[in-house]
Each structure stands twice: as C-alpha cells, then as structure tokens.
A and B are shown apart, each in its own frame.
Chain A
Amino acid sequence: MTFLHNIGLYILMLQKMFHKPTKWKVMKELILKDTEDTVINSLGIISFVSFFIGGVITIQLALSTTGSFYPDYLVGYATRETIILEFAPTIISIIMAGKVGSFITSSIGSMRVTEQIDALEVMGINSINYLVFPKVIALLLYPFLISIAMFLGILGGMVACVYGGYSTMNAFIEGIQTDFTPFHMTYAFIKSFVFAFILATVPSFHGYYMKGGALEVGKASTKSFIWTSVSIVVFNFLITQMLLG
C-alpha cells in the first residue's frame, strides 16, 4: 500500500518537475553547481575504483585461464566484455548510489527539515523544479563518467596483466580488439542514461518527501541508497533482457 502510494508520489514528482520552470539565469547556475557536485567530484573515486577493480578482474580471469588450451588473447577479450557490459555501467552506478545518492538525499532532506523548501514554496518557486531538475540535467553527463570508468578499467587490466606477467601487451591488445560488437557500447550507454535518471530522481524523492529531523535525514539517506541500488539492479535486468536477451 505505502509502496504503491510512493510510486504514485514519485511519478507526480516527475510531472511537477517540468511545471513552472525556474528562470533560466538561475537554473543555469544550479546546473553548473550540481554538475560539479555530482559528476566532477566523482571523477576521483570512479577513476581509482575502476583502475584497480579492472586490474583485479583481469588477474582473476588470467588465473583461471592460463596454463590451459585457451588462446593468449582471451584475457584481454574477457576483460573488455566484463568491464563494458557490467562493471562500468552497473557496479559503478551502485557505487554512485552510495556517493551521489546519499549526497542528494541528505542535502535535499536537510533543506526539508530546516524549512528551506517551505521558504522556496512560499516565495512561489516550484521547489521540485528548482531542486531536482538541475540534477537530472547534470547527470546527463553521467555516460561520460562511465566511459572514463571503461577506459581506466581496461587500462588497469592491461597494466595488471602485463606487469603481473600473465600475458603480453600484444596479446592483451589483440584481445581487446577481438570480436568487438559496437552494439554492446550502445547497450552500455542506454543503461548509463537510465541509471543516471534513477540516480538523480530516486534520492531526490527520498530527500524531498522525508519527515522529521536530523536523525531522519540519516535514515532517509540509507533508505535512498537501498532503493536506488534496487532500482538500478532491477532496471539492469529489464534492459539486458530487452536489448541482449
């Protein structure tokens, strides 16, 4: 019952986001600020995680394939597929649900509990448009983050593979180029766009409609992380089934 109620409320929020838009001059600044807070400030952690996890994925793939009759280039090939199809778009998004999602929920939630949202509303400002819309626009840049994660993940894999002595640079590069399906990139980017929309709106929803005080802001962030990652996982399944299944 409350679940259905919340879904309804969420859809209404999305609708209201496009009503009565904020002055463009102000909106422009908000978009720049949210781009910095959500996308630019995540570059560091995403690069770090991608590079090292890329390395680990490769080492594990290499360990389970060496010394057997598999061709040398297989490690590179498998690394590329794992990272492009699943690691970069999905796992990074779940990490972002923790980083960006809880940031969005707690910043909007604390505006709710300190009546800043009421202050916007009494001035006649559409607070949903003011707060949520710029985040959705900022996260249109999200696929750009995902491409960086793909690139660094594969690079990390290559470094681990070559310096760990699992295979040669040439074999790895040959692997990366083997059987490349451009549609897999399209699929990964479609996923990234959907996840970006989830990352912007689900945490905003949990912050905007929260009730209570400072303690509840913390609880709302946790709840928002859970629902954001669950939505990402569910949509990951649906999109994969639709596009690749």
Chain B
Amino acid sequence: MITVKNLKKSFDNKPILKGISCEFEKGKTSLIIGQTGSGKTVFLKSLLGLHKHDEGQIIFDNKDIELMNERQKMELKSNIGTVFQGSALFDSMTIEENVMFPLKMFENMSSDEMLDRVNVVLKRVELENSNKKMPSEASGGMQKRVAIARAIVNNPNYLFCDEPNSGLDPKTAIVIDNLIKEITEELNITTIINSHDMNSVMEIGEKIIFLRNGILEWEGSKKNIFKTDNQAVTDFVYSSNLYKKVRKMYLNQ
C-alpha cells in the first residue's frame, strides 16, 4: 500500500503538483487519468524518487521515504518495477538481456537460473521466441511487453506503469491493460497506471484518480464515473460522441 499526503512539486517556481493526497491499495490496479500536461508523469516520477518533491509525504507500507536511510531506499527500489512512457528498453541489449538485467544486477543467480526466470516472464507476457531480437526490431506492442517483463522479473511489490498502452491499437492496448491487471492480482502487488485512454478506464478502472492542473479533481471507480456530475471529469471522459451516447444510455437504464 502506498499513501501520498499533500504532495507538492514545482519546476522553476511553476507549481505542477499542488498538494495531492491519495492511497493505493495492495492487489489493486489504480489508474491515474488526466489530460496531457496535468502532471501524471511528474506524480509517478515523484513516487519513484526521480523528482524530489517539495512538500508532503510519500509512504510505502508505513515507511516514509524521506525517513529511509540509503540501504532502505535501495531495498525499496529493488522492490519497484517501472514501465516508462516510452518503454525505456536498453537499446544496446537484446530482449533477453533487457529482461535479465535486473536479475544480473541484484540477484545472485547462475546464468541458467536467470535464463529460466527470464523465459517464465517472457512467456507470461506472451513473447516466447523473441529472446535474441533487439528492441529496435520489435514492434511498439512488443516493446511494451518487454518493458513489463523487465519490470516484474524480480517479483516487485510495486508496479508503476506510465501510459503502458499509448501508441498501441485498441485491441493490443486492452490486452496490455488486462495483462497488468492480472499480474497485479497474481502477485498481489500495488500497481499504479498512468493513462489518458478511456478504454483502459472502462476495462480495468477499479480505482480511478483524475488529475487536473496538478490537483486531484476526482476519485472513484469506473462504476461511479458514469454517475458523477463533476463537470471536469465528464468533459474529459465523455469528450467523444460515442462515450456521450454510452453515458446517456447507461443513465437512462
């Protein structure tokens, strides 16, 4: 479980996160949605410690990251799997080497053990027989899967995904979403996904957080996102005519 209290972050005196408080539960997939530029990536990177926050608290399972010593921070980091917005695969390494990387850096395993583990996770993301390909030879959807495989290879407790399905066709996007959701439940981990894709919201939105201009504007699940009368949420979620119709039908039922 991750608790965030009054998180603030600004760049060059321009506030980007203006005091965000929320909780992310274990075994659940939480979605952070919001328009481009609303601060989703900055929020996620603050949780990861890539941006140092100005104010507020970030608490991983009752431990404030500000109060952790170097060793505890390292331990926490090895417990977080991250999928970046652009996959961030190491392009000088093959797919297999990419997925093996965290094992090689942090685990004391023999090459055979590592390879077995890599093959297990590659199979989990449905990427068998691509071990020796370079990331540049893989399609966007494959790259996302490799990134997910790399993020979960050493059994993390937390999984952060920044727009794991951006740039993918709707069908593949949903496959990826569901994959992350299933993995979250299988491993019973705390997962946070950044997204601005309505399909993801409808598919896996157990818990949704809506950010707008660095403020947590709305919080709920996909069920009550239909009913909400928050203007900003409905403007964002029902921006397309299709969704407007779906909502009308849903409310009329």
Contact = CB atoms under 8 A, between A and B. Distances in A.
Contacts of B242: none
Nearest to A22: B105
A110 B90 CA distance: 10
B80 interface: yes
Given A123-B78, A123-B102, 6 more contacts: A22-B105, A26-B104, A115-B85, A119-B84, A122-B49, A123-B101
The binding surface of chain A is classed by DSSP as helix
Contacts of A118: 45, 50, 84, 88
The 8 A-B residue pairs with the shortest CB-CB distance in the complex, in nearest-first order: A124-B77, A115-B88, A119-B88, A115-B84, A124-B74, A122-B82, A122-B48, A116-B88
A123 B77 contact: yes
Interface residues of A, number: 16
A123 B105 contact: yes
B97 to A, nearest CB: 10
Interface of A: 22-23, 25-26, 110-111, 114-116, 118-119, 121-125
B170 interface: no
Contacts of A119: 82, 84, 88, 90
A122 B105 contact: no
A174 to B, nearest CB: 51
Contacts of A122: 48-50, 77, 80, 82
B186 interface: no
Nearest to B89: A116
B91 interface: yes
B86 interface: yes
A123 B153 CA distance: 12
Interface in B100-135: 101-102, 104-106
Contacts of A116: 88-91
Contacts of B49: 122
Contacts of B77: 122-124
A116 B150 CA distance: 13
Contacts of A125: 105
Nearest to A121: B50
A133 B223 CA distance: 53
A176 B49 CA distance: 61
Nearest to A119: B88
Given A23-B105, A26-B104, A26-B105, A124 B88 contact: no
A114 B88 contact: yes
A123 B86 CA distance: 17
